[in-house]
Chain A
Amino acid sequence: MAGLIRIDDGEVLFNGENIAGMSEEEFFLMQAQSGFVFQDAALWANKTLYDNLAIPLRILRPGMSAEDIDRRIGNAVEMLGVHKSLLIRPSAISSGERKLFSFLRALMTDPDILFLDEPASSLDRKSSDRIKNLIIELNNQKKTIITVTNDFTLARTIADKAIILDRGRLLRQGLFRDILKEHNEDIDDIIDELKGAD
């Protein structure tokens, strides 16, 4: 859906245009309007944390001054409450902090759509809460957020619409509150019930 894997069937529309038919320039332009947070953070290992945040701006906003980039990074780091030297490499911080920086990197260019791959998985409670709060805040800012998660508690907190899949098979899609209502708010058994109904 995010365009990172070649589409071999069906179509994904971005602003009404099928991304499979986009030219290379259109594809990268589309990517620049979306952000992606990888499950394993995927920060650029041989760059400093500062560069991880600055590179998208340097490349995609060539007119932006170094001071503006500096200010933007400072504000983003402040917003997430990360108090780390930005001149260290990603290997020097915890996996939870790497995920937070991955979030910040995705937000640097102020994308309209955000793709999150298991945003709160394998995180400590504090980092997980930070990420949930950030998602809620972004949601309030009317950003479109598409999250892949097997954490129903997280889904319940943030999701408006849901697509429930089981090993690639579509079980149910619709408004998440309707799905929950149908299953008496029992999120633990939702998959089993849907599989049974299928």
Chain B
Amino acid sequence: MVISYVKSISYMSGYFFYLTRKTLKFLLSGKQDKKVLILQLLFTGVEALPIISLISLGIGGVIIVQGVAILPQFGQGEMVYDILVLIIVRELGPVLTALILAARSGTAITTELGNMIVSHEIEAYESVGIDPVSYLAVPRLLGLVASMILLNVYFDIFGLFGSFVVTSMMNPIPLKEYLENLLQVLTAWDLFISFLKSFVFGYIIAVVSTYHGFRVNHAITEVPVAAIKSIGNCFSYIIIADAIITVISRL
């Protein structure tokens, strides 16, 4: 089991470099069909907006409620803004957005590619001289990374807005004052870490989900198994990457 796990990691690492090379080539070439990229952005980015809005508003509201209830007891009432930035912008924004994308788009990509292998559609691309990795995986990677970055920004804005809405109901303060307090504690470093995490998480989801999709080997029963492996790997690697980036950023 350990050997097969090590093998799987080494194959996936090889695929990571292969896909990265293809992606750089895609970006430098005008030969590709951009339609797949646009559709991926639409599916991964735009269609995920409702669920991201709901979760970010809820999380923002919950954090402010808990912060306002607990922090004054320790004489740290002012720290609620630091907590908001730390939790929403640096931690939950990227992580929750990534988990939503992995569950929603990652599994969809694995399933779609797996089904395409079973129905010989991937071979059909090869048969006309189109590289399926360049045509199918690269636009999905770019779409996922771009969507992840944009949805993370959207999550942060909506999360902070959600906390303002709840604050207004509990202890109304002017929007200007709320924003000023937030901007006082929000640093460029926080924004960079948030951006870095969303980029890395988007990349992880794309590599893992396309890898497992392409690994399906002609039997339809392999597709759900691949989707389960894909989401399990995505969740694990996202949490590991989050821990690594957080620790390094605090050194």
Show the binding face of A for B, using Cβ within 8 Å: 2-4, 24, 28-36, 38, 40, 42-46, 55-56, 58-60, 62, 105-106, 108-109, 115
Contact = CB atoms under 8 A, between A and B. Distances in A.
B129 A45 contact: no
Nearest to B124: A42
Secondary structure type dominating chain B contacts = loop
Contacts of B112: 46
A42 to B, nearest CB: 4
18 contacts: A4-B123, A4-B126, A24-B131, A28-B131, A31-B126, A35-B128, A36-B124, A40-B119, A40-B120, A45-B116, A55-B128, A59-B129, A60-B129, A60-B130, A62-B31, A106-B127, A106-B128, A109-B128
Contacts of A45: 116, 119, 121
Contacts of B130: 28, 55-56, 59-60
A59 B30 CA distance: 10
Contacts of B127: 2, 4, 31, 34-36, 38, 106, 115
B181 interface: no
A38 B123 contact: yes
- 5 pairs of A and B residues whose beta carbons are closest in the complex: A32-B129, A36-B127, A42-B120, A31-B129, A56-B128
B135 interface: yes
Contacts of A33: 129
A27 B9 CA distance: 27
